[in-house]
Amino acid sequence: MNKRERLLTLWSTCSQIDASAIKETQLLLDGTVFRKMADMVVLRKTKHYKERRETNIGDYKTLYRFSAENVTWLADYFLNDCTETRGGALSPKMKMKIFLRCLANPGFQSGIAEELGVHQSTVSKVVTFVTTRVTAKVSSWIKFPHTEQDILQALEDWQNVNHFPGVIGVIDCTHIRIEKPGRHGDEYINRKGWPSINVQATCNAQEMFTSVDASWPGSVHDTRVWKNSTIREVVQKFPNASLLGDQGYGLELSLLTPYRNTDTEAKIHYNRLLKRERCIIERCFGQVKRRFPILKYICRLKLRRISRIIICCFIMHNIAKHLKDEKFPEEEDEDDTDENDEDDNQNQHIPDNEMLQRARVKRDEIADIIVRRHLY
């Protein structure tokens, strides 16, 4: 009987496996590694949890960019079904604090983990989880008018606050700094020489974002982003509604831009009013970047995750407006005017002659209305 047969016989004849049987089995294997039966039972290691750090009420706005009350509101709204309590599970509020701290801190996750008393891997998992929860509700917080009723309401809302006739909002792009990707990295180098995501957004009279497109690399011109956007198709369905844009865009029926040659009083007043009311989008960009510095400095996440994080920041901006949690006492409100050069995209999008002529007629009519009604 060889060694294998003796081993099988031993195990088959034992009604109970005792220590002597295990020992004899080890001897039969002549130096090969065979654990004792006691060692084959995998014992779970004792978990050691870091001490969770409590936050002073007065520090919430600085650390998490929302008041303590509104951080609780966000946790209840997005994570209300996260009720797991076993094994030192994080509470919904703690998950939201970790997520918001990452948006507010452009540094590394290891520092945030140490600050909040969790492991870096926990920070990464929580950010991914909460990002999914927040972006799942994007349609509830970032809404572009799609129906005739929506358009009429947007026109009325604009006129209640501003003066430019026939406008439902403002459009512009802003660049979010990223680390240069390993693949196709040059596609992300913008006109200023650093890697970025070119984010197109529109906002309404209430300084809330109505659309966000964060899918384009930094080398892509604003006009190309607009030309391929779904909101362009929407606005084109309503001839009496337009967006305001800067000189980087081509004039269209659905997108009003400034005159390049201001040789009449009407054109001067038109440009002056457009410039004054178009700056609302620059204020919105400035506000969202100040609230969430991850957008202002370098976003150090993987490329596939950056677009969703950007969307989350814009959603949170709108929620802050809704909750009236807007101001940071230590910072002054200033425009985000250093990102875009209006002349950089000139002539990137030239409409066909007929559509361009109709757009020019519309612009001239609006300029005359501005002068007649003294809207300037």
Q: Is the dihedral of CA 318, 279, 296, 112 positive or negative?
A: negative
DSSP H helical ranges for 80-182:
92-104, 109-116, 120-135, 138-141, 148-161
Q: Which of 323, 333, 310 is nearest to 67 (CA)?
A: 323
CB neighbours of residue 336 within 10 Å: 20
Q: Which residue has the tokens 């501003």?
A: 162
CA terminus-to-terminus distance, the chain: 106
Read off the pLDDT band of 108 (50, 70, 90): confident
- Report DSSP letters for 91-118, one per residue: PHHHHHHHHHHHHH--S-HHHHHHHHTS
- The predicted pLDDT at position 191 comes to 94
Average pLDDT of the residues in 291-320? 95
Q: Which of 17, 88, 86, 77 is nearest to 48 (CA)?
A: 88
Mean pLDDT is lowest, of 45-49, 75-79, 165-169, for: 45-49
pLDDT score of 31 more than 60: no
- The predicted pLDDT at position 327 comes to 72
Whole-model pTM above 0.85?
A: no
Tens-place pLDDT, residues 68-100: 999 999 999 999 988 776 656 899 999 999 999
> What are φ and ψ of residue 139, in 5° steps?
-70, -20
pLDDT score of 229 more than 80: yes
Tens-place pLDDT, residues 249-268: 999 999 999 999 999 999 99
pLDDT score of 36 more than 60: no
Mean pLDDT is lowest, of 39-43, 223-227, 286-290, 343-347, for: 343-347
- The predicted pLDDT at position 106 comes to 82
Both structure tokens of 230? 């779904």
Report the C-alpha gap between 118 and 104 in whole angstroms: 17
Residue ranges per structural domain of the chain: 3-40, 58-136, 140-372
Average pLDDT of the residues in 314-334? 79
Largest CA distance in the chain: 112
